[in-house]
Chain A
Amino acid sequence: MRRLAAGTMALWVALTLLRRMWRGDVVVLSQHGAPVVRLLAIMLVFVASCVEKVRAVAQPQNLSQETGDKPVEPVVAPEPVVAVEQGFPAGLDDVGLQRVYSWIAPRTLHWHFFPESFGEVAKAASILDTGAHPLPSPRLADEAVLRRIAGLQAAIEAHQRGSRRQVPGAELLALLDAAEALDLYDEWFAGHLWRHARTLRPAPVALFARIERHLRIVHALALGQASVGPIEFSAWRSKAGPPPGWTGLRVPAGLVAAAREAFEKGADAGAFESEAILELTVAAGEVALIRRATETRIAAGASLRLRRLDVVRASAAAVLRHPALGELKLPPGAEMTAWNVAQFLGAAGQAWVEGLPRAALNNQATALTELEAVLPAAHGAIRAALEQSEIEGWDGAGRSALRMVLQAFDE
């Protein structure tokens, strides 16, 4: 009897469809029909991706040929400088993430704890009034978590008390420890620590490595969200706000597993990997590039990318070259980071860099592009030009554009 009913139903659906196709009618999909069609589409995509995978396995020869086409990086045996954990945090899980998001969203954390990070916003923003952004009471938190929250708060308060002095590396590491103990991974927070590390000498190799790992985890979590869904409710595409009764952020199931997968596939440090980079060639001598607490020797003739989380050390005198900046001379024992590149510039390079912000103030668009290409060497000159132009009373679009370019270095 059931078979007969199912058969009749299928026949009816088929006949209706055929009739509509024959007549050329178009019908608006019903509310009940929509999920069925969506599910059908998902099944088709799923099957197609399975077929693709099977084909890929059946044709290993093609794959190896493709790999052969890619440029092969020279193999250099890395020498560890300081042992720093670089793996995905073993204890991180969806429940832990949900716990921290139930307490505080990172965006709220910034506004509450680090108003000085926002510079001019701090002056103008009523949003910084703690009444507008109250620190939420912990929910779903057990005693251990409460202790960790208290630990982070204490670390932040200690940091805030000393925000005007030179912050020791140990204090920054303590902040990072406290945040990570709470499963709090956040890009702006990591950037805040990096900005405070600008004056540390010698360059804080271990801290940079820790910040890089933190940023890679943040990036992996973003990639994970692209797979399993966003942490936040998104209102934008439906042109409507969050639904009534919505109370907080939700961590989608499987997020940490997806993030771990992305991390292991090589999720990088995000903007710290791609922006404010300086491409240099070793012209004479040899330097050591320290990245992720691993030291790589770069000999004369080879190139390197100086990122904001890297340190270049020269045990003996060395010369680096840049197509626009000219030669950068490193004396024996010199240590170069993105913060202090300018001090190694020659007179011509220095003059060129110092001239660019003035040209940008005069609305020369090419000067902005040139500055972007050498930001580690130019951020100081931009800051100086912005200060001077304020004294001189400049208020043009060029000044705004300079600030925007500088943010690509600072954030």
Chain B
Amino acid sequence: MGLLHRLYARAAPEVWETETRLLHVLRLVRRPVAVQWIVTAACDLHCPHCYSAAGKRAPGELTTEEAKRLIVDELVALGKPTLVLAGGELLLRKDIPEIVAYAADQGLEWAMHTHGGHVPKFRSLLARHPPALAAISLDGEREQHDLFRGKRGSFDAALAAIRVLKDTGCREVVAGTTVTRLSADRVADMFPVVAASGADSWGLHLFAPEGRGAEHMALFPTPEQLRRVAAFARRKRAVFHVELCNEWGSAGGEDMYYRDQPFLCGAGRISCVIGASGEVLPCTTTDLRESEGNLRDRPLRQIWAQGFTRFRKSGQGECSDGKECWLQSRNGNACREQAFGCGRRVG
């Protein structure tokens, strides 16, 4: 009974794999837990690591009515997963209040990823429909952040956004830092900033060479930096809620030192990403060759049920590897060995 309890409580990797095989045999698929929508490719910052190469609006972005009908209504039919709004900068879209209100009326929880610069303008929306989670990018101390983001004042804006979100009732505000070769050695200096910001937790993302990031491959941290940041995160968890995000891959039996739950790649399994123009992708890649279809051609329910089969099969393979981040290994950056290879002995 004890073992059953342990397995059920922790959604252990072996249960996940067995369940995946079972579902495959029974021709069933899990319902998504979260669906991220790249609301727009427009952004007023110009960060070198941006996975979506954001800047101008993408041609053929979904309209307000399409967003309601093709995304919100479909998510309701899919069992109401969390709707994660991202970009670009989502708050540059004028119809966001309307879409959020519509989603909230349907009983959907929503979350957002933003650089924070426009958050104060949306105070009344956030107070009416507080997001369940909001992630605000923080890429360094003031000078480094502003330099990296290409806009003076963006650091102060991010901190102001965190305060507004907490004031308006957002349940969890996450400060998100993308670890690059430039920022990896500075995360210790960032700790006071994040801890004092009012954020509930600190998510350490790992640079992925996607979008504009692909033009800056030299931003990928060195193996020593990966190991150092991972060790730093483990130590700081004693005093602050620090998490290594999924791009880092699994630390195996040592996952408990880096995150609250064991690593599981959710791409196409429990989550997916809808691109600005309606393409349905396994995760935050901008490579349209990975698309499983477009919402304008087929309903999301159908794409979810029939697509992503390569992620749902059991056995070995690029997409069914339960230890590496699919996006990193797809880009030839399998890095978990470097980050966790020198991990300590487990008692």
Contact = CB atoms under 8 A, between A and B. Distances in A.
Does A associate with B in a complex?
yes
Interface of A: 17, 20-21, 24-29, 31, 33-34, 37-42, 44-46, 48-49, 106-107, 110-111, 118-121, 123-127, 186-188, 191, 216, 219-220, 222-223, 225-230, 232, 234-242, 252-254, 258, 262-263, 265-268, 270-271, 273-275, 365, 368-369, 372, 397-398, 400-401, 403-405, 407-408, 411
Contacts, number: 229
B interface residue count range (under 10 / 10 to 19 / 20 to 34 / 35 or more): 35 or more
B12 interface: yes
Contact of B188 (A28, A188, A235, A403): A403
A38 B19 contact: yes
A187 B224 CA distance: 25
A238 to B, nearest CB: 6
B191 interface: yes
Given A25-B27, A187-B238, A240-B171, A127 B232 contact: no
A365 B346 contact: no
Interface in B136-189: 170-172, 182, 185-189
A227 to B, nearest CB: 5
A42 B15 CA distance: 6
Given A239-B133, A240-B109, 8 more contacts: A25-B27, A38-B19, A42-B7, A46-B4, A126-B198, A186-B238, A365-B222, A397-B185
B18 A369 contact: no
B52 to A, nearest CB: 18
8 contacts: A27-B27, A31-B31, A37-B19, A127-B198, A216-B347, A226-B256, A234-B261, A258-B6
B33 interface: yes
A397 B182 contact: yes
A26 B15 contact: no
Choose among B19, B191, B195, B343 the residue with the greatest number of A CB atoms under 10 Å from its CB: B19
Which 3 residue pairs across A and B have the least CB separation, nearest first? A241-B171, A267-B347, A274-B344
Contacts of A369: 224
B2 A254 contact: yes
Contacts of B186: 397, 400-401, 404
B256 A28 contact: no
A403 B22 CA distance: 49
Interface string B212-233: 0000000000101000100110
Contacts of A38: 8, 15, 19
Contacts of A401: 185-186
B191 A121 contact: yes
B333 interface: no
B347 A268 contact: yes
A256 B6 CA distance: 13
Nearest to B306: A26
B133 A407 contact: no
A228 B79 CA distance: 28
B259 to A, nearest CB: 7
Interface in B4-37: 4-10, 12, 14-16, 18-19, 22-23, 26-31, 33-34
B241 interface: yes
A239 B84 contact: yes
Contacts of B236: 411
B193 interface: yes
Contacts of A111: 239
Given A41-B15, A226-B10, A240 B346 contact: no
A29 B31 contact: yes
B19 A241 contact: no
B10 A41 contact: no
Nearest to A119: B192
Nearest to B36: A239
A166 to B, nearest CB: 25
